[in-house]
Amino acid sequence: MTQNNLQSSADVPGNQPLTHLDAQGHAQMVDVSAKQQTVRQAIAQGRVRMQPATFDAIATGNTPKGDVLGTARIAGIMAAKQTSNLIPLCHPIPVQKVEVHITPLPDLPGYQIEAIVKTKSETGVEMEALTAVSVAALTLYDMAKALEKSICIEDIHLIRKTGGKSGDYQYGS
C-alpha cells in the first residue's frame, strides 16, 4: 500500500488517525506499553440460521457428530484465548473470563451465540469476543453440516464494550 492509497485521517469517523498504520502507511502493532491496565469487558453476538429439521436434530441431540452445542461452546472459549494467534497485530492479553452462551431461536430457526470476555489489561477484548462467537458458529456449522450444507452464519457484531481510554460502547446507540 502506498501513501497515496491511504485513507486520510479526515476520512476516518471522529477524525481519529488509524493506529495500526505508521507514518508511511505500513501495518504496525500498536504500542500499548504506556497505557494503564483497566478492567475491560466485551460482549459479541451472532446467529446461525438453519432448516427446522436441522434445528430439531441439534435440539434433541440427534446428530451424527454428537453434542453440537457443547462442542461449539468449548470451541468459542478456546478461540477467545487464541485470538492473538489468529488475528494479525492483535495483542496477546490475559483473558480472565470467557463465557459462551448458545440460545435456541425456534422462530429463526437457529441459534444465537453470545460471548462475554473480560480482562484487566492495557487493551480491550473486543476481538476476543468476536472471535469466540465466530469460531463457535463455525464449529456449530462443522458439527451439523452432515445434516445441512446451507446453514448460514450471520450478523456477528459487537454488542457492548466497557473500559479503556475510548470509553464504553453500546450497539445501536
Q: Check if 142 is active-site.
A: yes
Beta bridge partners of 21: 27
CA distance 105 to 151: 14
Let me know how long the chain is.
Answer: 173
4: phi then psi, degrees, rounded to nearest 5? -65, -25
Catalytic residue selected from 11, 56, 142, 168: 142
Residues 137, 154 contacting (CB under 8 angstroms)? no
CA distance 50 to 154: 11
Q: 48, 41, 135: which is closest to 96 by C-alpha? A: 41
The amino acid occupying position 133 is V
Q: Which three cell numbers stand for residue 127?
A: 476481538
Q: Which residue has the cell 453500546?
A: 170
Residues with active-site annotation: 142
